[in-house]
């Protein structure tokens, strides 16, 4: 029996594996993908996320990223507000293909055993305890089906976590329901070292410059009628947007557009007896603020700390310890993100927010700093 079995080798899973392995735990990480692999994401690390990497000695993981010094936010009409993170703070933009490989390599170097190309089919439950407890993972690899026994199981397998859904710990809320369609472009004009968020009624468009002259362009919409053709939806969205149409007139989509959704995932409790959830498996926030990666990195850290406590004192209530830690760490930011999600979902509130921002742009500038987790630096 190993100490901790981790499902998912993305940022949350890799950070958890790294922290656990450094503490001397025997860790195995399972992922169905073979790395490096591509993944739809906003491709930005805000200042708070970089602070976590620095603290863990992983500055090199984002070193090749493009510096991002703040955000440009536009609204209805001619509203345009530019805000820097300030105080010398910056973020980094780099693809998940590069970042995830760097974090997984660091976890392996720390002593975690990485098993790629292995499908996690679900949790192994033991009903002999007073309450059913997760005691391992059922996996399917090249050698066939296998049950991996572990003292603690940590699921970091994303928004559609097999483990979380099997145990009915996660769900898509009825509202708001939005889908993201994104792709990489080259030849986008007017790129600067700023992220961009173009908020409109019923949707928003995010744009992030990337190394090598690429740009990540993503539209998030509640209209699912055209999701069958992601590339057409994406191109139509940017061509209909006056602030982007000219800039992307000569741009070329260099990789297939990808669709993801529904976006939001709610999880009342980040685990169950013997099981901890981290990253998007523990709840997914609509990433319009660009702070999703800090949730993942810090969430992986907190899950690892709860797992270490469980290894020493018993894992039956580790998920409750994790829940308290996550509430202390993230509650205010969750409320902030929830308010923004509601704002974008209403045409009336978008108009009111645009009016308020034009009168008091400093409010948006402060929101940009807060969204960047500058206070966490």
* The pLDDT of residue 245: 94
Q: How many CA atoms lie within 13 A of 48 on its CB side?
A: 23
Residues 69-124: tens digit of each pLDDT: 998 888 777 778 888 888 788 999 999 999 999 999 999 999 999 999 999 999 99
For the cut 60, the answer to whether the pLDDT of residue 346 exceeds it is no
Q: Above 50 in pLDDT, residue 167? A: yes
Mean pLDDT of the chain: 88
Name the residue among 112, 157, 158, 126 with its Cα closest to residue 139.
Answer: 157
Among 131-140, 192-201, 351-360, name the one with the lowest average pLDDT: 351-360
What is the tens place of the pLDDT at every residue in 297-323?
A: 999 999 999 999 999 998 889 999 999
Residue 73 CB: number of other CB atoms within 10 A? 25
Res. 342: pLDDT tops 80 = no
Beta bridge partners of 70: 84
Whether 267 has a pLDDT exceeding 90, the answer reads no
pLDDT for the residue numbered 377: 43
Q: pTM value?
A: 0.92
Quick: pLDDT tens for 124-136.
999 887 778 999 9
Proportion of the chain above pLDDT 70, given as a percent: 90
Give the pLDDT band of residue 200 (cuts 50, 70, 90): confident
Least confident of 8-17, 103-112, 221-230, 280-289: 280-289
The structural domains of the chain, ordered by start, are 2-38+96-174+264-343 (3.50.50.60), 179-260 (3.30.9.100)
286: Cβ–Cβ under 8 A, 6 or more apart, which residues?
176, 178, 220, 263, 264, 337, 340, 341
- The per-residue pLDDT for range 232-241, each reduced to its tens digit, is 999 999 999 9
Q: How many CA atoms lie within 13 A of 293 on its CB side?
A: 28
């Amino acid at each position: 029996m190993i100490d901790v079995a981790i499902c998912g080798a993305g940022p949350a899973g890799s950070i958890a594996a790294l922290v656990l392995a450094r503490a001397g735990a025997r860790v195995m990480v399972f992922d169905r993908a073979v790395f490096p692999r591509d993944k739809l994401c906003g491709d930005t690390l805000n200042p708070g996320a970089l602070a976590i990497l620095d603290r863990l000695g992983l500055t090199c993981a984002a070193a090749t990223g493009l510096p991002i010094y703040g955000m440009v936010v536009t609204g209805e009409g001619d509203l345009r507000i530019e805000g820097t993170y300030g105080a010398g703070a910056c973020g980094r933009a780099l693809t998940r293909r590069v970042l995830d490989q760097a974090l997984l390599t660091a976890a392996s170097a720390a002593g975690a055993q990485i098993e790629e190309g292995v499908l996690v089919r679900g949790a192994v439950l033991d009903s002999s305890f007073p309450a059913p407890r997760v005691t391992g993972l059922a996996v399917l690899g090249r050698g066939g089906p296998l049950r991996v026994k572990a003292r603690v199981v940590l699921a970091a397998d994303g928004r559609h976590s097999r483990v979380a859904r099997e145990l009915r710990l996660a769900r898509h809320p009825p509202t708001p329901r939005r889908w993201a369609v994104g792709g990489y472009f080259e030849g986008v004009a007017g790129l600067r070292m700023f992220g961009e968020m173009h908020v409109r009624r019923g949707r928003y468009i995010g744009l992030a410059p990337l190394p090598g002259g690429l740009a990540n362009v993503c539209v998030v919409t509640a209209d699912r009628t055209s999701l069958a053709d992601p590339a057409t939806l994406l191109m139509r969205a940017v061509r209909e947007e006056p602030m982007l149409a000219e800039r992307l007139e000569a741009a070329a989509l260099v990789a297939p557009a990808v669709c993801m959704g529904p976006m939001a995932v709610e999880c009342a409790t980040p685990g169950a007896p013997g099981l901890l959830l981290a990253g998007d498996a523990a709840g997914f926030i609509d990433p319009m603020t660009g702070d999703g990666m800090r949730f993942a990195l810090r969430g992986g850290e907190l899950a690892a700390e709860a797992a270490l406590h469980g290894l020493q004192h018993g894992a039956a209530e580790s998920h409750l310890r994790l829940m308290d830690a996550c509430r202390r760490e993230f509650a205010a930011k969750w409320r902030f993100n929830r308010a923004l999600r509601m704002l974008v979902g209403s045409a009336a509130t978008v108009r009111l927010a645009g009016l308020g921002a034009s009168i008091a742009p400093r409010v948006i500038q402060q929101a940009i700093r807060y969204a960047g987790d500058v206070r966490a630096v």
